[in-house]
């Protein structure tokens, strides 16, 4: 034995070698399932940590069980203790040469706080299409530090999932954003490399599981095209595929005073989502303001909602989910009572999901005059991006998916509005020339980032 330390990750396929050798800030390896992507992530991360002293690596996966099964477990088994030791409490493997691999999973807003201020040289996002563009942008912010190493992000991806649209835009369609106003925010095509993978590239899998291809071939045509060949057009529509920027959004404007106003909220300690919606004389709904915030107790949520409602805005009703009417074990009170005593009386909305989502779709459909029944201000970037990102539920395609949880809050608030009965505005008593201006709370600058997909 002679005290020799054995570390043998195996031999890479041709595509995996291309992934290892690629040099660019953003490298995506993708397409088919079973193409050897996760293996490549593990091997590149560990190899990089060993070869480059002091390298700081982050490996991300959407959920902890997947992270444990695909990364922590296999890497702990692969790396001998003389080379690297894993500490469960910090979920970090420290190497003999000062390098480290941190293992993380994305749990929405909590992760935004967790990764704020952390620095890494290389970040791997395994199954990046399970991540929202918002979380990708947060993680991008962690690519920094004073080490001599080039900062890089390695992504793996299959078509479909909540991140389908942004991954496809950056790596498949190569449709890059240019802004004359902020040239420093331009995306440089040279920064993005895509290495396609098909199942056939992974001979290790084909040798060990010959039935795998047969299993793939029995799947529905679109799933098969996406999973076997990595076809990006086969899968991956949002649940609200009908959403279009030209059709469903409007420039921020001052809402005519005689229109009726409503609010709709979804509340949890993890996230408050509040929408302000006006109804015109024809019964058409205009979402004109939004507010989302995590970590608010009910009293502060109510205060924030009131603060963002202008003094001359009379709100006819604020719709909310029925669970706010359940008695809290510790206080014996309901959250609805606290909202009410804090100045925000609530109206209980129906919580049937499928019916509610169908009603949103119904309101997005064109009316007789060709315009939809529901329009959203371009300043409501969070609602627009959540509607564009939310997928159909895999088990029940007539429902929207409940995961990732972070994109459901504003959509739920909109659903509580859409299932509730609202009245159209009365005709104004006199016609007044209104100068329509930007919303005084949100301002007039639409958040362009979120408008790419609708």
Ligand X SMILES: Nc1ncnc2c1ncn2[C@@H]1O[C@H](COP(=O)(O)OP(=O)(O)O)[C@@H](O)[C@H]1O
Nearer to ligand X, 37 or 168 (CB): 37
- Structure tokens belonging to residue 51: 């070869």
Residue 20 touches which of Mg ion, ligand X, none (Cβ within 5-8 Å per kind): none
**Nearest in space to 308 (alpha carbons), one of 288, 337, 334:** 288
Write the interaction track for ligand X spanning residues 253-282; mark x where CB under 6 A is met and - where it is not: ------------------------------
Nearer to ligand X, 206 or 253 (CB): 206
Contact 442, 292 (CB under 8 A): no
Nearer to Mg ion, 37 or 62 (CB): 37
Nearer to ligand X, 112 or 201 (CB): 201
Contact 376, 248 (CB under 8 A): yes
Q: Which of 38, 43, 202, 309 binds Mg ion (CB under 5 A)?
A: 38
Shortest Å, Cβ 21 to ligand X = 15
Q: What contacts 180, CB < 8 A, 6 or more positions away?
A: none
Per the document, the length of the chain is 454
Nearer to Mg ion, 38 or 292 (CB): 38
**Nearest in space to 53 (alpha carbons), one of 24, 96, 91, 87:** 96
Shortest Å, Cβ 158 to Mg ion = 8
Q: Which of 2, 10, 183, 210 binds ligand X (CB under 6 A)?
A: 10
Distance CA(269)–CA(258), nearest Å, equals: 34
Distance CA(323)–CA(411), nearest Å, equals: 17
Residue 16 touches which of ligand X, Mg ion, none (Cβ within 5-8 Å per kind): ligand X
DSSP 3-state assignment of 64? Answer: helix
The sheet with strand 152-157 has its strands ordered as 84-87, 92-95, 100-105, 56-61, 122-125, 152-157, 26-31, 192-197
Distance CA(191)–CA(152), nearest Å, equals: 10
Shortest Å, Cβ 224 to ligand X = 15
Contact 234, 291 (CB under 8 A): no
Shortest Å, Cβ 146 to ligand X = 33
Secondary structure in 3-state letters for 424-440 = CCCCCCCCCCCCCCCEC
Strands 84-87, 92-95: pairing kind: antiparallel
Nearer to ligand X, 196 or 404 (CB): 196
Shortest Å, Cβ 232 to ligand X = 15
Write the interaction track for Mg ion spanning residues 364-403; mark x where CB under 5 A is met and - where it is not: ----------------------------------------
Span 24-83, contacts to ligand X by CB under 6 A? 33-39
Write the interaction track for ligand X spanning residues 189-228; mark x where CB under 6 A is met and - where it is not: -------------x-xx-----------------------
Distance CA(241)–CA(388), nearest Å, equals: 7
Q: Does 229 bind ligand X (CB under 6 A)?
A: no
Write the interaction track for ligand X spanning residues 90-129; mark x where CB under 6 A is met and - where it is not: ----------------------------------------
Neighbours of 130 (CB within 10 A): 23
Nearer to Mg ion, 123 or 419 (CB): 123
Distance CA(306)–CA(84), nearest Å, equals: 54
Chain positions contacting ligand X, by CB under 6 A: 10-13, 16, 33-39, 202, 204-205
Chain positions contacting Mg ion, by CB under 5 A: 37-38
């Amino acid at each position: 034995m002679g005290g020799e330390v054995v570390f043998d990750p195996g031999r890479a396929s041709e595509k995996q070698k291309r992934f290892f050798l690629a040099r660019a800030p953003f490298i995506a390896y993708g397409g088919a399932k079973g193409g050897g992507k996760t293996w490549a992530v593990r091997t590149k991360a560990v190899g990089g940590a060993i070869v480059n002293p002091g390298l700081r690596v982050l490996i991300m996966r959407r959920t902890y069980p997947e992270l444990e099964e695909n990364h922590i477990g296999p890497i702990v088994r692969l790396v001998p203790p003389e080379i690297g030791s894993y500490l469960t409490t910090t979920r970090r493997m420290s190497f003999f040469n000062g390098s480290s691999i941190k293992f993380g999973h994305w749990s929405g807003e909590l992760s935004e706080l967790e990764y704020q201020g952390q620095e890494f040289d290389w970040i791997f996002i395994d199954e990046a299409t399970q991540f929202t563009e918002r979380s990708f942008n947060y993680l991008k912010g962690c690519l920094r530090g004073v080490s001599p190493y080039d900062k890089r992000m390695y992504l793996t991806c299959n078509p479909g999932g909540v991140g389908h649209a942004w991954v496809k835009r950056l790596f498949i369609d190569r449709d890059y954003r240019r802004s004359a106003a902020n040239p420093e925010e331009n995306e440089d095509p040279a920064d993005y490399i895509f290495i396609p993978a098909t199942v056939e590239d992974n001979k290790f899998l084909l040798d060990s599981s010959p039935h795998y291809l047969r299993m793939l071939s029995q799947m529905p045509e679109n799933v098969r095209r996406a999973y076997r060949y990595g076809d990006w057009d086969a899968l991956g529509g949002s649940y609200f595929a009908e959403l279009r920027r030209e059709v469903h959004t409007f420039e921020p404007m001052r809402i005519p005073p005689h229109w009726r106003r409503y609010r709709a909220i979804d509340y949890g300690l993890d996230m408050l989502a509040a929408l302000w919606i006006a109804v015109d004389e024809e019964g058409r709904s205009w979402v004109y303001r939004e507010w989302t915030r995590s970590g608010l107790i009910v009293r502060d949520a109510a205060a924030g909602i009131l603060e963002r409602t202008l003094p001359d805005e009379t709100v006819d009703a604020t719709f909310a989910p029925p669970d706010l009417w359940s008695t809290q074990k510790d206080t014996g009170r309901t959250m609805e009572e606290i909202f009410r005593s804090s100045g925000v009386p609530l109206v209980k909305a129906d919580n049937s999901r499928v019916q509610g989502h169908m009603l949103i779709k119904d309101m997005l459909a064109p009316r007789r005059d060709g315009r939809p029944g529901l329009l959203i201000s371009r300043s409501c970037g969070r609602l627009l991006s959540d509607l564009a990102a939310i997928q159909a539920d895999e088990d029940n395609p007539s429902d929207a998916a409940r995961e990732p949880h972070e994109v459901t809050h504003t959509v739920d608030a909109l659903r509580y509005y859409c299932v509730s009965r609202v009245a159209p505005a009365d005709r104004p008593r006199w016609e007044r020339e209104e100068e329509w201006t930007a919303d005084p709370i949100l301002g007039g600058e639409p958040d362009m980032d979120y408008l790419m997909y609708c």
